[in-house]
Chain A
Amino acid sequence: MLEIKNLHVELEEEDKAILKGVDLSVEAGRVHAIMGPNGSGKSTLSYVLSGRDGYEVTDGSAMLEGDDILGMEPEERAAAGLFLAFQYPVEIPGVGNMTFMRTALNAQRKARGEDEISASDFLKLVRAKATELQIDADMLKRPVNVGFSGGEKKRNEILQMAILEPKMCILDETDSGLDVDAMKLVAEGVNALRSQGRAFLVITHYQRLLDHIKPDVVHIMVDGRIVKSGGPELAQEVEKNGYADIMAEVA
């Protein structure tokens, strides 16, 4: 599904290397997790894959189902099936949540040559998905993420994911700022979307989210590289011993 090879990335303004040769292959139907200490480049990887400004790819490639996504605009990547659940979902005063989601879904469908969804079908779709995520009508009516609590913002991200039905979902520290109940709810939303044709890349600091979203593969990222990969037990090792042991081991 997602094939990253030797990815090197610098900050455009500071001439500072962040990713120093990332290799990663995520297969359809699988959940991969990336863990790592602060500043290791985890979030940068998610931004570069989604097309955020300010980063320069100096080497390497990233392919989504065989297509090079690094040359695409963010909206083209989204239409191709890539979705990034933001660590800090952006507040957009004045733009209604429903309007935004419908505009996004129809823009993606249009880009793929599909028909737009009707207003009534969209309403049915949103209502069904929102109920599962315990998102009430008021949150749907409000401007995007404005006045939402941390937990509501993350649930709103998962709602958008459920509606847009992407192939490749990247979750950037979706657990940050969530209490245990909210995390369970978000994890259930993600688990409901797991399927043969869909892959996940879960970026997190802590193992606790991975108790709820069980990964198939765990990667440890340190200083812009993936230094170790393994099964779910790797996450538990990190939880027990921290990153120091692994960093010492690969140094």
Chain B
Amino acid sequence: MALPETKQTTTEARLAALDFPKDAGWTRGAREAAEARLRRMGLPGPRDEYWRFTRPDTLVQATPPEAALFDAGEAGIFRSMDCLRIVFTDGVFDAAASDDLALAGVTIERLADAAETDIHWARDLYGVLEARGQDPVERPFAALNTMAATDGVILHATGRVEKPILLIYDHESTTSDAVLHHLVKVDADAEITLLETGPGAARFNTAMEVDVADTGSFHHVRAQGRDHERRAATHVFARLGAESRFKSFTMTANGVLTRNECVIELTGDDAIAHVAGAAMGDGDFHHDDTVFITHDAERCESRQVFKKVLRNGATGVFQGKILVKEGAQKTDGYQISQSLLLDGDSQFLAKPELEIYADDVVCSHGSTSGAIDEEALYYMRARGVPRPEATDLLTLAFLAEAVEEIEDEALREEVVEHLTGWLERRRG
């Protein structure tokens, strides 16, 4: 079917403005296939089912709106922790600021080096999970990413990786438009932790494809950048083997537009997938979590835990789906999305979906919007805790269920510290 004319026009304009390596070695075939997918589906419009709550126009337009730089004046999250750091500034690898790409238990390469060879193991992964993730819900910005990524990291974990790998995304240009694509392959019994932090670019498109073999473990903790005017569309595609574990947590404070898509396939029995997010929005903030988890094996467990604190007109969106395929018996699926609305101007839009074709499963879901508990607030104030501090404590308590999805205690504390700092800076 031909695309509607407006979609065709906007898609062509966006494609024409892209600048990416055409002669890209082993990624060439995947990039061409992605371009064909993208031309077929077109970039999203406001009437597309999965874009009704989030306006795609600033992500679609040929060049990004300007995004002023935010003077942090404080140390960024994770940066003082013992990690292997890999720095991208406006999507461009910064060798001087990065550590040597050498760490026991994992091989680290860059996507930008793909042009040097036509054969690479990652050819079986690049664009593969993204392409699988296009059905039944189209994700055009992910296809665009596979087609046009300029760099990214390629990680192959073969054992227990002793310390986290930290991807730092700095932002120095007010008009940068960056596209990064990461690949992660986790072998049997291997375990790796990947951290991400920073705004990345004025407009930032990331995709990560994660293939976890039987009994492998992947931990992902992400803090999306503080720049108020940045825009981001991110994608995580994961395929999980038997008895594997996948844990992903995202903290988002600020950002005029964030769309985080996460697409997970549980393909081996007894696998575990947890996806969680804590978002805090103040004012011109739009944050969208779109999650799709497919159970295609027995006795797998999935959890989606998303919490959003919104005020001064901020908007939160959650579109979460659990699909349990025929034969995926003893599935344990859980999904919760909640917002804490600190005033009457903010809104939370939620679309929970369950689609179940197996008859012996447990799937629960819930979605709520609420205000601060006035009874609890009064109790705390009557004990001497001033209203702003009491509100902060109750807000952190609201976010706790999501934050507790971070397994590592040091990382969890680092996240709580930054959430606390964010709240303190915004006390009314």
Instruction: Give chain A's interface residues, CB within 8 Å of chain B.
Output: 50-53, 73-75, 77-79, 83-84, 86, 89-95, 99-101, 103-105, 107-108, 111, 143, 160, 164
Query: Contact residues of B with A, CB < 8 Å?
Result: 373-376, 378-387, 389, 393-394, 396-398, 400-401
- B382:A53 contact, CB within 8 angstroms: no
Choose from A79, A103, A160 the contact partner of B389 (Cβ within 8 Å): A103
B383 CB contacts on chain A under 8 angstroms: 78, 83, 100-101, 104, 160, 164
In the complex, what residue of chain A is closest to B393 when comparing beta carbons? A95
A108, B384: Cβ atoms under 8 Å? yes
The 5 closest A-B pairs by CB, nearest first: A94-B397, A78-B384, A90-B379, A74-B381, A108-B384
Residues of B within 8 A of A92 (CB): 373, 376, 379-380, 394, 397
Considering the complex, give the chain A residue whose CB is closest to the CB of B378: A52
Q: Which chain B residues lie closer than 8 Å to A101 at the CB level? A: 383
Pairs A–B under 8 Å by Cβ, sample size 21? A53-B378, A73-B386, A73-B387, A74-B378, A75-B384, A77-B382, A78-B382, A83-B383, A89-B379, A90-B375, A90-B376, A90-B379, A93-B397, A94-B396, A95-B394, A104-B380, A104-B385, A105-B384, A107-B384, A107-B385, A160-B383
Distance A153 CA – B67 CA, assembled complex (angstroms): 51
Quote the shortest CB–CB distance from A64 to chain B (angstroms).
14
- Most-contacted residue by chain A among B376, B379, B396 (CB, 10 A): B379
Residues of A within 8 A of B381 (CB): 51, 73-75, 78
A75 touches B400 (CB 8 A): no
**Contact residues in B for A164 (Cβ distance below 8 Å):** 383-384
CB distance from B338 to the nearest CB of A (A): 12
How far apart sit A164 and B382, CA to CA, in the bound complex (Å)?
12
In the complex, how many angstroms separate the beta carbon of B215 from the nearest chain A beta carbon?
33
A94 to B375, CA, bound (A): 15
Task: Say what secondary structure dominates the interface of chain B.
Answer: helix
A75 and B394 contact, Cβ closer than 8 Å, known pairs A90-B375, A92-B379:
no
Least Cβ–Cβ distance between B137 and chain A, in angstroms: 33
A160 to B384, CA, bound (A): 11
A75 touches B386 (CB 8 A): yes
Say whether A100 contacts B380, CB under 8 Å: yes
B383 nearest in chain A by CB position: A104
- Neighbouring A residues of B393 by C-beta, 8 Å: 95, 99-100, 103
Q: Are B389 and A107 in contact (CB under 8 A)?
A: yes
B389 / chain A contacts, CB cutoff of 8 Å? 103, 107
Task: Tell me, in angstroms, the Cα distance from A95 to B394 when the chains sit together.
Answer: 7
Contact of B374 among A53, A84, A100, A107 (CB under 8 A): A53
- A75 and B387 alpha carbons, distance in the complex (Å): 8
- Is the beta-carbon distance between A111 and B384 smaller than 8 angstroms? yes
| Residues on the B chain within 8 Å of A93, using CB | 397
Q: How far is the CB of B283 from chain A (nearest CB, A)?
A: 25
Residue of A nearest to B398 (CB): A94
Contacts of A104 in B (CB 8 A): 380, 383-385
Of chain A, the residue at the smallest CB distance from B397 is A94
Report whether A107 and B386 are in contact in the complex, using a CB–CB cutoff of 8 Å. Answer: yes
Find out whether the CB atom of A103 lies under 8 angstroms from the CB atom of B379.
no
CA gap between A90 and B376 in the complex, in Å: 6
A143 proximity list for chain B (CB < 8 A) = 397
| Chain A positions within 8 Å of B376 at CB level | 90-92
Closest to A163 in B: B383
CB distance from B378 to the nearest CB of A (A): 6
Chain B CB within 10 A, most for which of A50, A77, A94: A94
User: Are A86 and B379 interface neighbours, CB within 8 A?
Assistant: yes
B223 nearest CB across to chain A (Å): 21
State whether A95 touches B384 (Cβ < 8 A). Answer: no
Given the known inter-chain contacts A89-B379, A92-B380, please indicate yes or no for A103 contacting B385, CB distance below 8 A: yes
| Cα of A14 to Cα of B153 in the assembled complex, Å | 65
Since A53-B378, A94-B394 are in contact, a sample of 18 more A-B pairs with Cβ atoms closer than 8 Å, ordered by chain A residue number, is A51-B381, A73-B381, A78-B381, A83-B383, A90-B378, A91-B376, A92-B376, A92-B394, A92-B397, A93-B397, A95-B394, A100-B380, A100-B383, A103-B389, A105-B384, A107-B384, A107-B386, A143-B397
